[in-house]
Structure 1
């Protein structure tokens, strides 16, 4: 039997089990998973990209480079 694969938790850096037995993978715990989710929700993480014409004109979306209507 092979040794279970361990990966580094992207939030805290501890070893985390990469297997179906770990419901939070690649995180080591639910806490680390929630911290990461909160960072995405608060827009601490962003994916770079261009604003499309459809997005710029969508109601409810405001972009810093787009004048409001």
Structure 2
């Protein structure tokens, strides 16, 4: 069974997972957090996520470390 645990603090967001998790499992796990958002917030978030489509793997993580 695949498990994903998400911890969010004021500084970091951590994802813990079992080795069997796939990229799709991550997307579905993160997407489940959107259930409680207002429709307007979901629209705003989707616009932000669209900017990430063309980024290479780990691009956000490496960018964050440079700051």
Q: Which has the higher contact order (CA 8 A, sep 6+)?
A: 2
Report which of the two has the higher share of helix: 2
**Shorter-chain TM-score range:** under 0.3
Q: What TM-score do you get using the length of structure 2 for normalisation?
A: 0.25
Give the strand-richer structure, 1 or 2: 2
